[in-house]
């Protein structure tokens, strides 16, 4: 092999640099899965937890389209209690700790939903930005 002494360390160095984000996060201790705090009176969400974790944004879009575009304001169940298909009046009524719930995941993942520009949070009507 020609110049193996240069090529092999070179490849190794390249791999190290390439994987920088992975091992940096590990060493830094910031690679933990965020732990959203579920602090609700009800035991149930509007869908199973696993579904909500991966698909709540899809569900919100479906609610939005059915409510506004189809005028379908029928209710959904969480456990045995009926809720409106509403961001402010359902999700945020139960999950009324946005900072420790929605934001904990979203900040970690740099997701910035703009919903709160318009939709209000029940407990802090005056959340001026």
Partner 1 sequence: MQINRKEFLKKAGIAGASLIAGGVLYSLFKGDDIITAVVESSAQTKWAMLIDVKKCAGKPDCSACMTACHKGHNVPAIDDIRREIKWIWKADFGNVFPEHTSEYMDVAVRSQKVIVACNQCDNPPCVRVCPVGATWKRADGIVMMDHHRCIGCRYCMAACPYGSRSFNWKDPRKILSGNDIRVEYPVRTKGVVEKCNFCAERIDVGEMPLCVEACSEGAILFGNVADPESDIRRALAGKYVLRRKAELGTNPEIYYLV
Is 56 or 119 the residue whose CB approaches partner 1 more closely? 119
**Binding flag, residue 50, partner 1 (CB under 8 A):** no
Among 37, 13, 9, 28, residue whose Cα is nearest residue 105: 37
Among 85, 93, 84, residue whose Cα is nearest residue 120: 93
Site residues (CB under 6 A) for ligand HEC, limited to 2-61: 36, 38, 40, 42-46, 49, 52-53, 56-57, 59-60
Please give the C-alpha separations between residue 87 and each of 6, 17, 28, 62, in angstroms, as whole numbers: 59, 43, 35, 12
Is the distance from CB of 111 to CB of 84 less than 8 angstroms? no
Cα–Cα dist 37/33, whole Å: 12
* Binding residue (CB under 6 A) for ligand HEC from 19, 20, 22, 68: 68
Is 14 or 107 the residue whose CB approaches ligand HEC more closely? 107
**Binding flag, residue 106, partner 1 (CB under 8 A):** no
Give the interface with ligand HEC as residue ranges (CB under 6 A): 36, 38, 40, 42-46, 49, 52-53, 56-57, 59-60, 63-64, 67-68, 78, 83, 85-91, 94-95, 101-102, 105-106, 109, 111, 113-115, 117-119
């Amino acid at each position: 092999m020609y110049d193996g002494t240069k090529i092999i360390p070179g490849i190794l160095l390249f791999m190290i640099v390439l994987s920088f984000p992975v091992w940096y996060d590990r060493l830094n201790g910031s690679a933990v899965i965020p732990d959203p705090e579920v602090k609700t009176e009800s035991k149930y969400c509007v869908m199973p937890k696993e579904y909500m974790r991966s698909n709540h944004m899809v569900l919100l879009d479906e609610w939005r389209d059915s409510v506004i575009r189809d005028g379908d304001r029928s209710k959904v169940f969480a456990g045995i209690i009926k809720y409106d298909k509403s961001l402010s009046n359902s999700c945020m009524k139960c999950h009324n700790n946005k900072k420790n719930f929605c934001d904990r995941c979203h900040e970690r993942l740099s997701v910035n939903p703009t919903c709160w520009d318009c939709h209000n949070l029940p407990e802090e009507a005056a959340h001026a930005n």
